[in-house]
Chain A
């Protein structure tokens, strides 16, 4: 069974204090690893898709990387508006049409 584990569960940073969120996965036949951001009471907002080990993607203060066992979401000089829950999800091969398996998320709070 596919498993996705995110750590830490919660992270509190000061504005400008860079850090990383971790997503480790145990799956058979990874087809894609997805990062989403979710604000309270809203649906997840797509950030990145990573397909193969060694791949990196950047968007503003965020950078996502992928290895064969885990992915990191690096946040550089975060601002209070980066506060949200960050979700990691995987899509695997076989008959997994339409199915993403999610981790429990990391709640990020950035204090001014």
Chain B
């Protein structure tokens, strides 16, 4: 079974630009969660989508948004980029039908904001 895939793997943007990251979950998984990982804050939860609906959201500004498509693929968008948005962005997929589901992570997208 193919794992979680994320594209692109690396991105370099400048302040004020916007960016869209993509995540394809494991086949059969309907839940996609997004996380931001930085050396100072570690892994922090951004939001979760299940069957095209956002079910949960972390404490991030409205510049961070996402969506999920009918095939469970998900995208996240960051508008008006700031230097502090430089991070590894990880998505994780799971069945999403139980609070005890295991999440499986993709390789991440490394975003650098100059």
Contact = CB atoms under 8 A, between A and B. Distances in A.
Contacts of A61: none
Interface of A, helix, strand, loop or mixed by DSSP: loop
A104 to B, nearest CB: 5
Contacts, number: 76
Given A96-B56, A98-B96, A44 B45 contact: no
Contact of B90 (A44, A101, A103, A105): A44
A43 B107 contact: yes
Given A44-B90, A104-B42, A98 B33 contact: yes
Contact of A45 (B32, B48, B105): B105
Interface of B, helix, strand, loop or mixed by DSSP: strand
B100 A32 contact: yes
B94 interface: yes
Contacts of B108: 41-43
Given A49-B102, A101-B45, 8 more contacts: A43-B106, A98-B50, A98-B94, A98-B103, A99-B58, A100-B43, A102-B43, A105-B42
